[in-house]
Amino acid sequence: MRIRVILPVITDAWIDGTRAAYTSAARASTEISVAALDWGTASIECYRDEALVVPDIITKAVEAEEEGVDGLIIDCMADPGLDAARELVDIPVVGPAQASMHLAAMLGHRFSVLVISEADVGAVDHQAARYGLAGKLASSRAFNVAVLDLEENAGETLEAVIAAGEKAVTEDGAHVLVPGCTGLAGWAPRIQAGLAERGCEVPVLDPPSVAVKVAESLVDLGLAHSRRTYPRPPTKEIRWPWPTRFGT
């Protein structure tokens, strides 16, 4: 099985770490490859960033299908370009946020998402509503560390995430926690352990791991998105300043 992870930024330095994170969660027989963008932004931290990365995300999705890849994962908790990519390809396309939110809703009464900044709170609320999970979202709690600084001081970042998680559990009533950035791939066990030390024993999901397992399961089952939900786009003239594969 071949799974392509689309790293939806132009930051090539993250490719090796992203491949390692997803490979660690995949079966030994699953081949994980990673493709960063040629056009876009260095990180995704607002709606503008999401808009700017979508054209090359869907380009990379079409290219991956043409290369014979079995499934796709978009490596960002904003799930940028998820719907558009599904319109253009027939292979499964998984968004870590969508997959993790639905799993969190299965595992507990309500869940909270631990987001990068206060500016992300509204976006996550909107996202949960779009995925039909507004009633299961306890809160979006910000730990206020910029994406590009997550690993600058990992100890301080971990402490900030745990502190936000503690408030989500004790003040907001969360029973499950979802880290709101795939840059925290592999951190879930440490976050969960830190919370347990503070008396907050709740499941903490690792969105990249969830995305891999969902992608593998969809391929195993021979399933992908419904064409009634994601019909093929109509063919029309598209004018754009750089090469794309929009489906024309």
Shared domain check, 34 and 81? yes
Shared domain check, 142 and 62? no
Band of residue 247 on the pLDDT scale cut at 50, 70, 90: low
Shared domain check, 170 and 215? no
CATH number of the domain at 31, please.
3.40.50.12500
pLDDT tens figures, 23-71: 999 999 999 999 999 999 998 888 999 999 999 999 999 999 999 999 9
Query: Is 119 or 212 the better-scoring residue by pLDDT?
Result: 212
Of the chain, the percentage scoring pLDDT greater than 70 comes to 96
Shared domain check, 83 and 13? yes
Task: Say if 229 falls within a structural domain.
Answer: no
Q: What is the pTM of this model?
A: 0.93
The span from the CA of 49 to the CA of 88, in Å, is 21
Shared domain check, 119 and 197? yes
What is the overall mean pLDDT for the chain?
Answer: 93
pLDDT tens figures, 3-19: 999 999 998 999 999 99
pLDDT tens figures, 204-217: 999 999 999 999 99
Domain containing residue 153: 97-206
pLDDT at 120: 87
Shared domain check, 109 and 74? no
pLDDT at 195: 97
pLDDT at 151: 67
Domain count along the chain: 2
Shared domain check, 155 and 193? yes
Shared domain check, 16 and 84? yes
Q: Which range among 40-54, 84-98, 136-150 has the greatest average pLDDT?
A: 84-98
Band of residue 119 on the pLDDT scale cut at 50, 70, 90: confident
- Asked if the model's pLDDT at residue 232 lies above 90, the reply is yes
Q: Torsion angle, CA of 184/187/190/193, rounded to 10 degrees?
A: 90
